[in-house]
Chain A
Amino acid sequence: DAGITQSPRHKVTETGTPVTLRCHQTENHRYMYWYRQDPGHGLRLIHYSYGVKDTDKGEVSDGYSVSRSKTEDFLLTLESATSSQTSVYFCAISASQGARVNTEAFFGQGTRLTVV
């Protein structure tokens, strides 16, 4: 299995509180991603990173921010959690094999976040 660790694995938090999820990799891969998974929507991209301090928004980025100060760590922050952010969050990593050939992503085990 690819070396990806998500923490925490489960979290219950109250509406309005800040929450930070951590993704740590030991593969030295360039790309890192945060997705959320909700029934009927598949996985939707929140933010991704293509290098240290280089990040970009995905399709559902509102209410989320990310940071990547080191190759191995990608943090996802909910500044003020809302019930609509109750979801399962997956981190993924991907290497780069040149400008036009994209490699597959490897996924962490997920973090189940409940906002009450």
Chain B
Amino acid sequence: DAKTTQPTSMDCAEGRAANLPCNHSTISGNEYVYWYRQIHSQGPQYIIHGLKNNETNEMASLIITEDRKSSTLILPHATLRDTAVYYCIVRVENGQNFVFGPGTRLSVLP
């Protein structure tokens, strides 16, 4: 599975959009981009995933660049409860492995 690079930490003001970037320059054509988050002391939680088209669900939007070498997770109106570590993972669909990197620690500030 391709390696990902994320900033170590980010801050965001409550009510504003949080944009979390992820670089995956070695992604293969059949690899998807997944996002999970881990709120303190809980297990990671699935957010969204996509291949090349932009995706949106009730939690977030996923924007993938045309060359697929990077993506951005967007939380449109961040709340204090969105403070968490956000993990970007690249893997083949239906592949077995889910390998988590260090992620981005997002702090939503009042």
Whether A and B are associated in the same complex: the answer reads no
Interface residues of chain A, those whose CB is within 8 Å of chain B, are none
Task: Name B residues whose Cβ lies closer than 8 Å to a Cβ of A.
Answer: none
